[in-house]
């Protein structure tokens, strides 16, 4: 995992269910696709490779 340049933690919070739960997963997938493209990775990266803490509630959790 790349070290944060600011010395802090990178946290991903996935909160909510229903449409909100689906939309945040679509956005997260797009983010991972952009990271893959920018870093020219052969495989789609996993969120756990870029976030120190991942949590949430409802469907997001």
The DSSP-derived string for 8-54 is: S--EEEEE--HHHHHHHHHHHHHHHHHHHHHHT-SSPPPGGGT-SEE
Q: For 16-55, how does the pLDDT look when each residue is reduced to its tens digit (9 = 90+)? A: 778 888 889 999 999 999 999 999 999 999 999 999 999 9
60 or 45: which leads in pLDDT: 45
55's enclosing H/E stretch is: strand 53-57
**Distance from C-alpha of 52 to C-alpha of 23, rounded to nearest angstrom:** 22
Model pTM? 0.77
Band (59; pLDDT cuts 50, 70, 90): low
Domain boundaries, the chain: 13-56
């Amino acid at each position: 995992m790349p070290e944060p340049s600011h010395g802090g933690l990178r946290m991903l919070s996935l909160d909510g269910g229903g449409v909100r739960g689906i939309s945040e997963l679509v956005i997260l997938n797009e983010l991972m696709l952009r990271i893959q493209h920018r870093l020219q990775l052969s495989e789609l990266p996993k969120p756990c490779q870029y976030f120190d803490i991942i949590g949430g509630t409802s469907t997001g959790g």
